[in-house]
A and B are shown apart, each in its own frame.
Chain A
Amino acid sequence: MANQNSTKIDTVKKIEALKSEVDKALSKVAAEPELEKIRLKYLGRKGVLPLALRGLKNLSAEQKKELGPALNRFREELARLIRGKKTALAEKALEVRADTERIDVTEPVPARAYGNLHPTEQVRRQIEDILVSMGFKLERGQEIDDDENNFELLNIPKDHPARDLWQTFWLKPQKKFMDSSVGEQDQPLLLRTHTSNMQVRTMREQKPPLRVVNIGRVYRFEATDRTHETTFHQIEGFVVDQTTTLADLSGTLLSFFEALFEQKLRSRLRPSYFPFVEPGVELDISCTFCKGRGCSVCKKTGWLEVAGAGMVHPNVLKNAGLNPAKYQGFAFGIGLDRLTMFKFGIDDIRLLLSGDLRFLTQF
């Protein structure tokens, strides 16, 4: 027993000695290769501990039972210590890297990687979202149209002085491309002068109540300057039902512009003339820049002219197959480009179609 006890005590002492030896060795380790040497010395195939464990087989079962677990525990502890040291070394190396590595954080990136939406597109999205939220169906319609839809059905007869309001681009007749069965195209086509060209078509296809907006390019054969373009965008909309009045027009447009400019506004109607409406009005809103006090944008008037509008003319309703005694409604037209210019403070409409990236990359 005494012998056995002494073996046990010896082993325990030996383990403790070994432990302090390893601790000492580990504390001196500064790099991974040294650590590996230590690992091999104690835990390697011919290392101290595996040998000791192999030596157990010469002992009695009782001794094995007593010493085996202790040695195994010690081996595991040793392995843990070495792994811990290994992690500490790796982290130390990364820490040194983080302490020494430097980039010039003030240096700009080489080239811009972001793109841009056209300013008109940005305002168009906002407008479309507002109109859809108000229940308007959006249409685009054709840009190349005939005299009938662009003018005549809208109560603008041929040779009427009202035609002076729309200088028109005409296409050369395309006879050669026509099949004789379709008939000769003696009436030249035109580039629509307003998006109202879809009004009668839409009214014919769909039944009241109608809330429709047609947005797209329109064309005028005019000299260009800072505020005039041959090509621009119009938002033309109408509401037709049985009791829709000028008061509804006034309320609808005011709430639309308040949503668009995200502020309380005042508005006013002024008499105007568009052959497809009667009464015809012009809508002004209080200047969004000076709040109506008068500034250079509103030319000191305090008002911005933002829409032409009116009650759909009975002749237009008739042309659309609607009985003017039963149905009535309002229509309005808004210039998208002008609103875009207001929104961004752009002072020359010609920039919008210029393709000038120095301009377009600002938005």
Chain B
Amino acid sequence: MKLSYNWLKEFVNIDVTPQKLAELFTLKVAEVEEVEQFGQDLDKVVVGEILEIRPHPSADKLQIAKVSIGADILEIVCGAKNIKVGQKVPVALIGAILPGNFKIKERKIRGVASEGMLASAQELGLKSGVDGIMILDSALEPGDKVAEVTGLADTVLEVDVLPDRSYLLSHIGAAREIVAMRDQDLLINNYAELGAGLIAKSKVDNDSRVQLMDPSAAPRYSMIRLSGLKIAPSPAWLVIRLQRLGLRPVNNLVDLTNYVMLELGQPMHAFDAQKISGKKISVRSAKKGESIKTIEGDTKKLEPGAIVIADEQGPIAIGGIMGGQASEVTEKTTECVLESANFDPVVIRKAAEKLKMRTDASLRFERGADPSMTVAALSRLVELLPKVGLGEVQVSKLVDEYPAPRVRQPIRFMPALVEKISGIKIDTAKQVRLLQSLGLSITQSVDGNDEELLVTPPSYRNDLNIPVDLVEEIVRLNGYDKIPFRLPVAPMVPVPFDTTRHWAKKTKNILRGAGFTEIETYSFASGSELAALKVDTRAYLALQNPPNPDQTFLRGSLLPNTLQVVKKNIANGVGSMRFYELGRTYRRVRDAKFPFEGLRLVITEVSKYSVLHSKNTLGGWTHLGQILESLIFHLGLEPRDIIKKPLLTNKAYHHGRAARLTVADNYVGDMAEIHPVASARLSIDRRVTILDLDFDRLVALSNPYHNYRQVPAFPPIIRDLSLLVKQEDSVKTIMDAIKVAGHPLLDSVDLFDKFSSKKLGTDRSVAFHLTFLDRKKTLSDKDIEPLMNKITVKLEQKGYKIRS
């Protein structure tokens, strides 16, 4: 909400600068986001009276105006056609600097010297206005500074009005806060009395009948009729006010309704009375199939629930949101029906959301407008009619339907609550004073309990309903800076150990040390990556309102985003990369209310030397295998318990380079190279090796500490064994066979060499270190020989050839 400092001053004496006021507002009421000053440099723009106009001798489109500026008379060349003798206009004197650093200098225009410039609204810094020179109020004195007398010089405070304080969506509401903060009085308490008198004294019958079909949705509907209207552009002061506060001027009557809305917070609407059929106005729920063309020109389909204002033919306005085009006030309008009504916040909010229409009116009704304001607003408008050239208008009697006037119930309030909640003691007298300064009325409790007050908030404060609401009002006006700093006291109990957090931290430390960079990606998954990876999305969760058209799912795996990151980094010129993400994935679960949110860890390695078409390159396979062992070991598990089995079913993976990983019979994830076709489709020309781990499972399997095993007291004996095996034989199977045959003295088997060659053909050579150990004595060759024999016999039985 934008607040005009000039406007506020009409309601209350402000004894501080706009900047200081903004600061006070921020600290005690609501945050002022911006303070904008206007028209500060327009000292050399003064009111001029046009005395004479004559044509320019050498240019058809120009005129020469003789203008009085009080102390002097100037001759000014002017291009605009809208000037007439007797008008008051803004004159930019020589030396004036207009917005946009437009300097006015003495110059000759087609041979005639111009002693200044007549200014348009735009040239004075307004967004728009009447075409041509700005015409000022005829009552102004020539020579007066335009910025001061028109309100062009003003400071606008933009206040972030949060949804609870609807009363701040008006100047009167903001002025009441200043009253309370600065201990002032409201200057215009009777702001609507003059107009009210005019309406009350009216002899013009109002033959409209208003029918409220649903008083809970539309509790009050007040209206008058105005006749003898002369619709014209608004005068300068009104144009300036509305534009400063972000509204577009339309015409004198419509602008006045908007003016009153900004002043009092009551939205109003003027219908052209001659375009309304019949005299009966019904306020009812929209019927199925009804539609209306709004004043913005859009045809809106209405649904039951929305409130319409209807004449005998059908809807003429969407209640509380926007009027219809058919009954819009135009320059031809001579008679109008002026609506000032109150609508239920929830009804308006639902309708506005459904219709996707948010207007100044709907905003105020959604947040709760004051039902007691409808007639006051009509009165204020009537009072202002002469100021917009509508002084001759005839005002009808009032029609006011308000079947169930709202009564505010008092709040039972214990002043001791202030200290209990805020920690600061404020004496009761001061509390009472602060509440009264905000317009709340206070009486002692009926029970004669002097520790309890009965506090009744005014009708415009729909945010005050329970005792703590009053605590807030007292504490903020008293000043939050008076709240002391204290620390809570609580029993000294240890914070429970968080296993997942512990292992996540540890894992990230290991990966950092191993050269991997942590990434985080969005929780959304993009369709193109999912398609390239041939992901089955049946268990994926879809968004009703995705952040963009491609990201329609929540991620069920970290892989798609991982590949997107690879692709993006390659495009950025990053050649090799090692990174990981530890993040949540989301999947539907049958029969459960909430989906499954599982932590996955995806570790990625890409080398610039390992491209898709290069042969015999392992990519990150070996290194990620080592990383896996490191993680497993540091999770308190045994790396030798990791089992890798070929994985052929996942379409996202290279069929010859994918393994299903289990640890102690628990499936913990996959290690794989991304299928080259998938990579190619995503424009990734490199082999991408990944570990995709179920982090929740790993945490569940983890042990805090490894168990100690006695360090061998006797030296081992190490024998080498070299074999010739088939290309497709599994090293793991061979090693298992060796282990079984070497029992019980064979302590470990390590692959130390392997090679293939043309000469070996479909065979390959593999070589192992066999470590024998006896924990009770020093081994001798004699102890080993029988086992070595047993091992070779066993291996030969299985068809492996012993080379040495």
The chain A residues found within 8 Å of chain B, CB to CB, are 111-118, 120-121, 125, 128, 132, 135-138, 140, 142-146, 159-162, 164-165, 169-172, 174, 177-179, 181-182, 185, 188-189, 191, 209, 211, 217, 219, 221, 230-231, 239, 241, 243-248, 250-252, 254-255, 268-273, 275, 278-282, 311, 313-314, 328, 352-358, 360-361
- CB pair A273 B515 closer than 8 Å: no
CB B452 to nearest CB in A, in angstroms, measures 14
A269 touching B423 by the CB < 8 A rule?
A: no
Complex A-B: 14 CB contacts under 8 Å: A115-B516, A115-B517, A116-B512, A160-B346, A169-B545, A221-B547, A230-B547, A231-B522, A268-B481, A278-B466, A311-B468, A355-B521, A355-B568, A360-B579
Which residue of the partner chain, among B508, B516, B569, contacts A355 with CB atoms under 8 Å? B569
B468 to chain A: which residues have CB within 8 Å? Answer: 278-279, 311, 313-314
Q: Which 9 A-B pairs have the closest CB atoms?
A: A247-B423, A245-B423, A355-B565, A279-B472, A273-B162, A269-B480, A251-B485, A161-B163, A115-B512
CB distance from B77 to the nearest CB of A (A): 44
> Which residue from B420, B495, B515, B519 sits with its C-beta under 8 Å from A114?
B515
Query: Do A159 and B349 touch across chains, with their CB atoms under 8 A apart?
Result: yes
Alpha-carbon distance between A63 and B483 when the two chains are bound, in angstroms: 109
Binding site for A on B (CB under 8 A): 26-31, 162-165, 345-346, 349-350, 366-367, 420-424, 466, 468-469, 471-472, 475-476, 480-481, 483-488, 490-493, 495-496, 498, 500-501, 505, 508, 511-523, 541-545, 547, 554, 561, 564-565, 568-569, 572, 574, 576-579, 584, 586, 588-595, 597
Among residues of A, the one whose C-beta sits closest to the C-beta of B590 is: A177
Does the CB pair A128–B501 fall under 8 Å? yes
With A115-B578, A245-B486, A360-B518 in contact, do A178 and B591 touch (Cβ < 8 Å)? yes
Q: Which residues of B contact A280 (CB under 8 A)?
A: 472
Q: How far is the CB of A193 from chain B (nearest CB, A)?
A: 13
Report yes or no: A247 in contact with B424, Cβ–Cβ below 8 A. yes
Selected from B471, B520, B589, the residue in CB contact (under 8 A) with A177 is B589
Q: State whether B422 touches A115 (Cβ < 8 A).
A: no
Question: Chain B nearest CB: distance from A23 CB in Å?
Answer: 42
User: Which one, B345, B469, B584, contacts A143 given CB within 8 A?
Assistant: B584
Within the complex, the shortest CB–CB distance from A242 to chain B, in Å, comes to: 10
In the bound complex, do residue A132 and residue B521 qualify as a contact, i.e. CB atoms below 8 Å apart? Answer: no
Q: Is A221 a contact of B545 with CB atoms below 8 Å? A: yes
B498: A residues at CB distance < 8 A? 138
A245 near B544 with CB under 8 A, answer no
If A188-B544, A246-B483 are given as contacts, then 9 extra A-B residue pairs at C-beta distance below 8 Å, sorted by A number, are A118-B519, A125-B505, A135-B493, A161-B163, A182-B591, A191-B523, A247-B483, A268-B480, A281-B480
Q: Complex Cα distance A143/B483, Å?
A: 35
B495 and A118 contacting across the interface, CB-CB below 8 Å: no
Tell me which of B500, B564, B574 has the highest count of chain A C-beta atoms within 10 A of its own C-beta: B574
A-B contact count (CB 8 A): 242
**Contacts known (A353-B522, A355-B564); A247 close to B484, Cβ less than 8 A:** yes
| Given known A-B contacts A114-B515, A172-B544, A248-B486, A209 and B491 have beta carbons under 8 A apart | yes
Given contacts A161-B345, A245-B421, A250-B483, contact A114 B476 (CB under 8 A): no
Q: Given A165-B163, A278-B469, A357-B574 in contact, is the A352-B486 Cβ separation under 8 Å? A: no
Query: CB within 8 A of A248: which of B420, B488, B554, B561?
Result: B488
Q: Are B522 and A230 in contact (CB under 8 A)?
A: yes
Given contacts A185-B593, A246-B421, A356-B572, contact A162 B485 (CB under 8 A): no
The CA-CA distance from A140 to B345 in the complex, in Å, is: 36
Task: Determine if A217 and B523 form an interchain contact, defined as CB atoms under 8 angstroms apart.
Answer: yes
Secondary structure dominating the interface of A: mixed
A160 to B522, CA, bound (A): 29
CB distance A314 to B505 under 8 Å? no
In the bound complex, residues from chain A placing their C-beta under 8 Å from that of B594 are: 142, 144-146, 189
Given contacts A115-B514, A268-B481, A355-B519, contact A169 B423 (CB under 8 A): no
Shortest CB–CB separation between residue B762 and chain A, in angstroms?
37
Contact status A270-B545, CB under 8 Å: no
- A250 lies within 8 A of B486 (CB): yes
A354 to B595, CA, bound (A): 26
Task: For residue A300, give the distance in angstroms from its CB to the closest CB of chain B.
Answer: 12
Contact with A179, one of B466, B584, B591 (Cβ below 8 angstroms): B591
Find chain A residues with CB under 8 A from B165 CB.
273
The smallest C-beta distance from A267 to any residue of chain B, in angstroms, reads 8
Q: Which residue of A lies closest to B368 (CB)?
A: A161
Q: A247 — which chain B residues lie within 8 A by C-beta? A: 422-424, 483-486
CA gap between A2 and B414 in the complex, in Å: 132
Contact B475 A137 (CB under 8 A): no
Task: Specify the chain B residue showing the minimal Cβ separation from A245.
Answer: B423
Distance from A324 Cβ to chain B, minimum over Cβ atoms (Å): 9
Contact of B164 among A159, A239, A273, A314 (CB under 8 A): A273
- Determine whether the beta carbon of B490 is less than 8 Å from that of A246: no
Check B346–A159 contact: CB distance below 8 A.
yes
Q: Contact at A272–B522, with CB atoms within 8 Å?
A: no
| Separation of A270 and B492 alpha carbons in the complex (Å) | 32
Bound complex: CA of A138 vs CA of B498, how far in Å?
Answer: 8
A-side contacts of B586, CB under 8 Å: 143-144
Find the B residue at minimum CB distance from A324. Answer: B468
Asked if A231 and B523 make an inter-chain contact with CB atoms under 8 angstroms apart, the answer reads yes
Q: A113-B515, A273-B165 are in contact. Are A169 and B541 (CB under 8 A)?
A: no
B518: chain A residues at CB < 8 Å are 115-118, 121, 360
CB of A26, distance to nearest CB on chain B (Å):
38
CA distance A325 to B310 in the complex (A): 49
Question: With A170-B544, A177-B590, A217-B584 as given contacts, are A311 and B522 in contact (CB-CB < 8 Å)?
Answer: no
The residues of B that contact A169 with a CB separation of less than 8 Å are 543-545, 547
Q: How close is B32's CB to chain A, nearest CB, in angstroms?
A: 10
Q: Which of B490, B523, B590 contacts A211 (CB 8 A)?
A: B490
- B382 smallest CB distance to A (angstroms): 31
Q: How far is the CB of B466 from chain A (nearest CB, A)?
A: 7
Write out the residue numbers on chain B whose beta carbons fall within 8 Å of the beta carbon of A113. 515
Bound CA–CA A217/B429 (angstroms): 47
Q: Which A residue sits closest to B466, measured CB to CB?
A: A314
Of chain A, the residue at the smallest CB distance from B599 is A140
CA distance A313 to B421 in the complex (A): 11
- Residues from chain A with Cβ under 8 Å of B542 in the complex: 171-172
Report if A356-B484 is in contact (Cβ < 8 Å); known contacts: A143-B523, A185-B593.
no
Contact check: which of A135, A145, A171, A268 meets B490 at CB < 8 Å? A135
Q: Report Cα–Cα, A334/B570, bound state, in Å.
A: 35
- With known contacts A142-B597, A170-B543, A177-B588, A115–B490 Cβ distance under 8 A: no
Query: When the two chains form their complex, are residues B472 and A241 in contact, meaning their CB atoms are under 8 A apart?
Result: no
Which residues on A sit within 8 Å (CB–CB) of B545?
169-170, 221
Among B491, B521, B593, chain A packs the most CB atoms within 10 A around the CB of B593
A339 smallest CB distance to B (angstroms): 15
Residue in A114, A270, A353 whose Cβ sees the most chain B Cβ within 10 Å: A270
Q: Tell me the complex Cα distance, A27–B174, Å.
A: 107
> Is the pair A246, B597 in contact by a Cβ cutoff of 8 Å?
no
Chain A residues with Cβ under 8 A from B423's Cβ? 245-248
Which chain A residues lie closer than 8 Å to B349 at the CB level?
Answer: 159-161
List of B residues within 8 angstroms of A179 by Cβ: 590-591
Give min CB distance, B553 to chain A, whole Å.
10
Q: How far is the CB of A85 from chain B (nearest CB, A)?
A: 33
B contact residues around A170 at 8 Å (CB): 543-545
Looking across the interface, which residue of chain A has its beta carbon closest to that of B510? Answer: A115
Tell me the minimal C-beta distance from B164 to chain A in angstroms.
Answer: 5
Q: In the complex where A132-B495, A169-B543 touch, is A360 in contact with B523 (Cβ < 8 A)?
A: no
A164 to B358 Cα, complex, angstroms: 12
| A314 and B579 alpha carbons, distance in the complex (Å) | 47
Residues of B contacting A278 in the complex (Cβ-Cβ under 8 angstroms): 466, 468-469, 471-472
Q: Which residues of B contact A269 (CB under 8 A)?
A: 480-481, 483
Question: CA separation between A221 and B547, bound complex, in Å?
Answer: 7
- Cα separation A27 to B186 with both chains bound (whole Å): 116
- B595: nearest residue on chain A (CB-CB)? A144
Please tell me which one of the listed residues A118, A144, A243 contacts residue B597 in the complex, with CB atoms under 8 A apart: A144
